[in-house]
Structure 1
Amino acid sequence: MDKKLGAVSGGLGIVRVMAAAWLISVMISAVGMVLASLIFYAVGEGQNRIRVSVYVVVVLAVLIGGIYAGHRIGYRRFLWGLALGAIYYVILCLISVVSGCMAAAGWQFCLPFVLLCLGSGMLGGMLG
């Protein structure tokens, strides 16, 4: 498959695009989590809805970041979206381990979370 006109090539260009896509995903996640927490604080919802809202916010954030990465890089878009989902998940896990929160999460949260990050990143890359 041919590269799109104006597609990013070279290692440094790809690193810049992936870093920008990751930052976009993190900013969208932060804004989404703040909005969700304010809504749940006002309404007083339970744990199940909070967990679902975390999944939804992260899926949307990684999806939009994957769209950006796939569009900017222009070739093998699904792989770059998948890579963005993996990078997002790994960095989030590293932050969780350093802060001491990973032990409380358990596999019931981690396995679906990694699958959602990888899947939404890949879908976003294909849509980009």
Structure 2
Amino acid sequence: MEKKTNRGRGAEGKAVWILKALLCAYVVTGILLLLLTLLLYKLNLDEGKVTGGIIAIYVISTFVGGFAAGKMAKVRKFAWGLTIGILYFGLLLLISLGVYRTLQGSGANVLTTFLLCAGGGMLGGMIS
């Protein structure tokens, strides 16, 4: 009976630190998007530079989230970082679908974004 209780706490604990890592990634996203907005306003960046900035923000944010998850997990860090990257992408996709009611861009763009998010999270987990 006691083992089930410990498992429940472990699962709750994992869910909590996964949410903490995702929150960390989205806070970094918000800060970096505000910085990119400021740069866009001050420097009149063209579309290519803004797109590159958004891609960099995805990678940096998932890296930070994966790093945080890896620090909290202490085992199989790369897998937890990858999980954070995938969850980040999934939430990003849900938000995009909610706002635009359709996928923005082609399937190749969505796949590339998925790979960048998953790779950034996994790299963050590995380095932690």
Q: Tell me if TM exceeds 0.5.
A: yes
Query: Partners of 2:127 and 2:68 in 1: how far apart?
Result: 9
Cα distance per residue 1:11-65 (max 9 Å; x no partner): 1111111100000000000110110111011111111111100011111111011
1:42 corresponds to which residue? 42
Give the partner amino acid of 1:14: K
> Bigger radius of gyration, 1 or 2?
2
2:78 aligned partner: 78
Structure 2 counterpart SS, 1:104: coil
Shift of residue 105, structure 1, vs aligned partner: 2.6
Which residues of structure 2 form unaligned runs of 5+? 1-8
Q: How does 1:112-123 map to 2 (within 5 A)?
A: 112-123=112-123
1 or 2, which has the higher helix percentage? 2
Could you tell me which runs of 5 or more consecutive residues in structure 1 were left unpaired when the two chains were aligned: 1-8
> In the TM superposition, what is the alpha-carbon distance from 1:108 to its structure 2 partner?
4.3
TM (norm. structure 1) is 0.88
Cα RMSD between the aligned structures? 1.4
- Runs of 4+ more than 6 Å apart: none
Identify the residue that residue 31 of structure 1 maps to in structure 2. Answer: 31
98-107 or 13-22, which moves further after superposition? 98-107
1:79-116: CA deviation from partner (whole Å, max 9, x where unpaired): 10000000000011001101116433323431211111
Aligned residues: 120
Superposed, 1:13-24 pairs within 5 Å as 13-24=13-24
